Structure 1
């Protein structure tokens, strides 16, 4: 900072004025010593006074940063972000359990986003938000092993939370329990490795970025980004309870804003309930869905905002040269504004024939970093998942695709069938547009909360964590004791939801095993025969899970040999389903496969001042989440320490650390829609969660430790993968990798909103994931000679689509589609593709190719 002040008296006056008038809105009050009209160099006496003032300020939690700003920071904060896109070809996507949903390109990239908050000499917590379907036990285990090797005991299962946004458009195969990786043909090492690597690197970034800063919290209602997809189940909750709430889904978004003492705002994380199912079960492009899109929009918004402010400063100082910003239309490149001349220039750049290339992640980094000051921390924004169990982003409700009629209210069927009942998003029939709209609605609400956040988080940083065996757990209910059940899935589990219907004539709301039901729904009778062939549930299990009609009694199967393999006293029920083809009319309709569900669940509370994060491994419905939050709040606010008051903010972090499917209320469970049928441990599952979280809450405020519970198994060395590796990539005779197969038309001119499409001869994207790189790039011509990266495959408007002419062909194509955004700068452009090809002997060679140039006017 400047070292010129008028006198020690003047210095004291300046400090006093600032301290008496500081505003906490952004955690800072700015003071500019260079504005003093006259002064002298800081004398030794003044220096001692300055040091004393700083010590006194620090003792009161007030810090002076290098820009001469005061803040009331009380934490160390650090954020990080890293690419976890993974294999964009051949791998089944996680979420819909649709065997035909195989990745074949990139909509936009997936990321791990992390924050660390620490007391300067005390506790710290880590929270990681993944653009992935859910947390994974084996991912958590391996990340913690790496953190232990690097940092010792600083980061452990106690204070690290890893959550998924629940996109249904990410590569699968990264969980260790096989029931969740059946459709990906088992474990997919590439999916697993890229997620573990990305989480570790995002945490390393956050750790290395730790600096003094402040955190602010804000809340607000977002009304048009989610609807209840199981309203008949919600209506089974007590009327007096429902009457306490305006809506049948949670409409509240909770946002925290991170403010660095030196740089100002550096990020935000928010929690809001809506499913990651704007992209349908037929989509094959890797995508973060609506929450991933919202994060991309907000990070771009902040880059643009800061870049514009920096340009204003440069203009005022008459120094510096502006680069062409990414997705910013306010800066015009240095090119003659004459379309005829543009077309003449474009005509001189023909498509390439394909050529070798070195690794090129730096190209994408140039695009992503084009707006950011070299020494400024990257702005990180995460849109986290909460109690979304019964909340759909398809806000136009469910309709039948063939008739256009609304789906049945209770069962989501038409004439007893559910296969054609689909929820419609706001952009129907365009799922990309629905994703954009729901993402944009969350993004706009987040900006509003971000700009108005004034309540500062203050107080301790703390955490509690425990593992609990959830099978046959005693649960106190008043003077009675009830139990959870061994895990089982009901018939409505196979029916799916309006976001992704199932097959085989299953229906939601199937809670009967009566003769009438069997007669009127013969599909269910058939599946009961299949179920009984595998394992007929004993009467104790039937009574425990009642009224759920059990489809898969995963905790009790014993034929043809022991189906329950116990790891450390029953932590995992391994369901060995031998391969059996079920045929109807000669057509195979299903193959029974390996299934495995863990009975050990992770419970965790993180605390940052008056913010409390409840890390849950499943998908809580709206009312289940409300009951859990209320129960924990009662414990925290009734404690003798009085640390928490009415201003405590409690958020549920869904799908965190591991995955245990759904959690409904007791009343919703009785209806047996999809969410109830997927509540594994019976009707008292929610009561068990509340009981265990109340224990953690009590331990948090009392300072008592908790029993760690049974450790979950590490099954990494037992994983099986049936996904075939890439054997060979090839091109037709006379064509090189990267050669344009289908180019833009000669002398093409496009306008904003048009789609530009180019196809290249390519190779399998699994050869090199291009992590922190790009498969596709839009470049703009500067000064008629230099191609500058403008947009990469992490942009919502650019799609990388990969395909083969036939399933077993070694040849493949890369089609790149660019929907020209309204913010595009007029000029000369081209589209470039990057890839990596595998030779028969296994060597990998990188290549690139570019389209002919074209004009955007």
Structure 2
């Protein structure tokens, strides 16, 4: 027996938002898959809002028109609902078989199937007075690399012209470690995939663009509200020894355990109801450990699924209309925040990594839903954005931003020895000859670092006391020209950081913006994993501890002060209404990629004396709620077709004379596993954990795939299990 995937208590969820699934008389098709009535978006307010945008796009309104009744009505509508907001969801699932996974840097962790699909969730927010807008996309991927951002911007320009550009597009990642990698144009990140995976790259880019297009098409008048609740049992500080080196005044902002418990939720209110949220909470998406081989969006993606699908009935496979609800669970300063509450991989609150994913995700949903009944602050004011590219390998940091008040420089990127030890609390394998802590390094590495520091006093001034292990900047293995962004929506400010920011580092970045803009600290958020990736940002005090996070702070002891200086400058430009120079961007590396042979399919054949789709292992005749149904099929390699907007499987219930879908490969309770049999045959194993509330009746499982011939043609295949009963 397995535990139900629907929590008995959603840890603070508003019970009114939960779909009831306990009645055995209730059809699983409704309310899970029956679309709710769609609100009509062509209201008078929407029409007036469109006129305002059109006028804003063509220039100032003539003085006679400003005094007209239409102009007065438009101004009134914009005041009542000052924004236009659109929402969109799209599939970004990459290669689900034979692709190295991104995050743990574990060569043995290659995908062998799919637990839940990866998705991108997009919000477009437009100031109805000026027409200025921002696009915020949160994708269930490990990182947003410059390669992805550049291609997304190019496709958005082809689709929307100059509507979206460098400054007003914010792309961020949930940082799941259970997604396929190989989509960076920097070689360091493609080591575990043995090269570049174009199919996963295109899946990531296309999904992000599709989500953005759907959000743009979904624009409607809206109010925006913000509320902050507290979530104390979904994270642990995995680098407490380093955190404790920070001044008491900094540590006073956080819990006794050194965790950031703030859960901040931006609520989109359209037609009088909340129909979308962006939640920011600091915790790594590493509930799934390095032992996992199934593609998964981890705890952040599960949180979005739980609210959208289980509570609001969103059917991801119904693309005939926009979803009725979009819940984006984004990251913030989560660099030292682990979901593994026992500070061991796959632990806390249980020893089951799947159950932990569900519990931590459920707790995030509970905290976000509590915001619906908590005091909220309505956002007022315009929409604005600034972005600069900064060469972090050589930044002169003014003394006002450094601990000793003296000017210092950053330097080319380098990893310390503790980087090779990995993050042992979250499952980064590491090598046993390396340990965290400045006194626990490898003596050979210390000799190398001492020699480098002797040869270059400037390197020592920047990187010391780090024991340099790998000068990745000099080897051109990582990105060093990095985008830093500041976005404003009303009086909420979001700092887009291209790295993993510790909680105290985030605090200092927030202070810099709050000071310049003259707002409260709670009106500024830091969003990590945004627009590019440059590993960690620690405070100088944390850096000196020599932990994994400090060893992965690439640009030396003064990296955070350099970022604070940059963010301070962005805020000053935003306040003054000026635009900073964009700065030199990272060069285009797309032409120099080496294609990986991982997951490449030459030919598919069925098992001997079988046809594609044949059942190799049939289900039992009957199951009870809580049991696991398992069926094996003779199939084909899933990388032939990633089946975006579709599914590798369905679980179907017989209702009258028809079969109705009750689950697919995007659901929590299903798992899709692939295994090579012999040279070219594929064994597909599909399991379904029968959830609580499943009605008694006749069921079947169907498999959908695509087979490649020796000549390269691909054709669709399918298989159907024998009928079984749920009693």
2:655 alignment counterpart = 782
Q: Which residue number corresponds to residue 435 of structure 1?
A: 357
Task: Please state if 1:165 is matched with 2:111.
Answer: no
Q: Are the counterparts in 1 of residues 288 and 357 from structure 2 also a CA contact under 8 Å?
A: yes
State the Cα deviation string for residues 583-610 of structure 1 (Å, max 9, x = none): xxxxxxxxxxxxx112101111111101
Q: Work out which of the residue numbers 356, 359, 381 in structure 2 matches 1:459.
A: 381
Q: Deviations over 1:795-842 (max 9, x none)?
A: 011111111135xx2111111111111132222111111001111111
- 1:826 maps to 2:690: no
- Say if 2:220 is the partner of 1:211: yes
Offset of residue 243 of structure 1: 3.1
Match of 2:610 in 1: 735
Give the Cα–Cα distance (whole angstroms) in 2 for the partners of residues 160 and 376 of structure 1: 21
Structure 2: segments with no counterpart, 5+ residues = 1-40, 44-67
3-state SS of 2:544 partner:
helix
Does 2:252 match 1:252?
A: no
Residue 136 (structure 2) aligned to one of 127, 142, 158: 127
Matched residues in 2 for 1:545 and 1:59: separation?
A: 55
Could you say what secondary structure the match of 1:273 adopts?
coil
Distance 1:216 1:840 in 2: 57
Closer/same/farther in 2, CA of residues 532 and 847 from structure 1, 3 Å limit: farther
Structure 2: distance between partners of 1:531 and 1:99 = 27
Quick one: structure 1 residues 683 and 53, their matched pair in 2 at CA, closer, same or farther if it must change by over 3 Å? same
| 1:84 to 2:108 alignment | no
TM-score with structure 1 setting the length:
0.73
Candidates 509, 512, 519, aligned match of 2:436? 509
Unaligned runs of 5+ in 1: 1-27, 31-51, 64-71, 308-325, 327-363, 399-421, 557-562, 564-573, 575-595, 638-644
Task: Output one character per residue of 1:328-372: Cα deviation in whole Å (capped at 9) or x when no partner.
Answer: xxxxxxxxxxxxxxxxxxxxxxxxxxxxxxxxxxxx725xx7xxx
Query: Which position in structure 2 is the counterpart of 1:116?
Result: 124
The answer for the alignment partner of 2:279 in structure 1 is 270
Q: Which residues of 2 match residues 370-449 of structure 1 at below 5 A?
A: 377-398=323-344, 422=345, 424-428=347-351, 430-449=352-371
Is structure 2 residue 634 aligned with structure 1 residue 761? yes
Q: Post-superposition shift, 1:503?
A: 3.5
Counterpart secondary structure, 2:77: coil
Question: Residues of 1 paired with 2:114 and 2:221: CA distance?
Answer: 37
Distance 2:373 2:202 in 1: 37
Q: CA deviation at 1:753?
A: 1.0
Cα pair distance change 1:531/1:827, threshold 3 Å = farther
Give the alignment of 1:133-532 within 5 angstroms.
Answer: 133-247=142-256, 248-261=258-271, 264-304=273-313, 365-366=317-318, 377-398=323-344, 422=345, 424-428=347-351, 430-452=352-374, 454-478=376-400, 480-497=406-423, 498-512=425-439, 524-526=442-444
Residue 321 (structure 1) aligns with = none
CA RMSD in angstroms, aligned pairs only: 2.5
Q: Aligned with 2:466: secondary structure? A: coil
**Contact preservation (8 Å) 1:427, 1:437:** no
- Deviation for aligned residue 1:268: 0.8
Once residues 124 and 385 of structure 1 are traced to their aligned partners in structure 2, the CA distance between those partners, rounded to angstroms, is 21
2:676 — aligned with what? 804
TM superposition shift of 1:485: 1.6
Counterpart-to-counterpart distance in 1, 2:455 and 2:378: 54
Q: What is the CA distance between 1:845 and its match in structure 2?
A: 1.0
Q: Does 1:651 align with 2:573?
A: no
Aligned residues of 1:612 and 1:648 also touching (Cα < 8 A): no
**Which entry has the higher C-alpha Rg, 1 or 2?**
1
Conservation of the 8 A alpha-carbon contact between 2:446 and 2:467: no
Structure 2 counterpart SS, 1:773: coil
**1:810 and 1:154 mapped to 2: Cα distance?**
48
**Cα contact 2:422–2:431 (8 A) shared by 1:** no
- Partner of 1:598: helix, strand, or coil? coil
Please give the alpha-carbon distance, in whole angstroms, between the structure 1 residues aligned to 2:340 and 2:173.
20
Whole-angstrom distance in 2 between the partners of 1:243 and 1:129: 30
C-alpha separation between the residues in 2 aligned to 1:179 and 1:536?
27
- Tell me how far 1:528 sits from its aligned partner: 6.0
The equivalent of 2:585 in structure 1 is 711
Q: Is the 8 A contact 2:222 2:270 kept in 1?
A: yes
3-state SS in 1 of match to 2:196? coil
Q: CA deviation at 1:376?
A: 6.2
Q: Quick one: structure 1 residues 779 and 53, their matched pair in 2 at CA, closer, same or farther if it must change by over 3 Å?
A: farther
* 2:69 is the counterpart of 1:61: no
The answer (yes or no) to whether the contact 1:610–1:648 under 8 Å persists in 2 is: no
SS in 1 for 2:362: helix
Question: Do the aligned partners of 2:289 and 2:346 also contact (CA within 8 Å) in 1?
Answer: no
| Structure 2: distance between partners of 1:105 and 1:396 | 28
Q: Distance in 2 between matches of 1:453 and 1:730?
A: 60
Relative to structure 1, is the Cα distance of residues 535 and 753 closer, same or farther in structure 2, using a 3 angstrom cutoff?
A: farther
Structure 1 counterpart SS, 2:677: coil
Q: In the TM superposition, what is the alpha-carbon distance from 1:534 to its structure 2 partner?
A: 11
> 1:54: how far off?
7.9
Structure 2 contact 511–521 (Cα < 8 Å) conserved = no
Which sits farther off after the overlay, 533-542 or 235-244? 533-542
Q: d(CA) in 1 for partners of 2:116 and 2:323?
A: 22
- Provide the C-alpha distance between the structure 1 equivalents of 2:674 and 2:454, rounded to a whole number of angstroms: 45
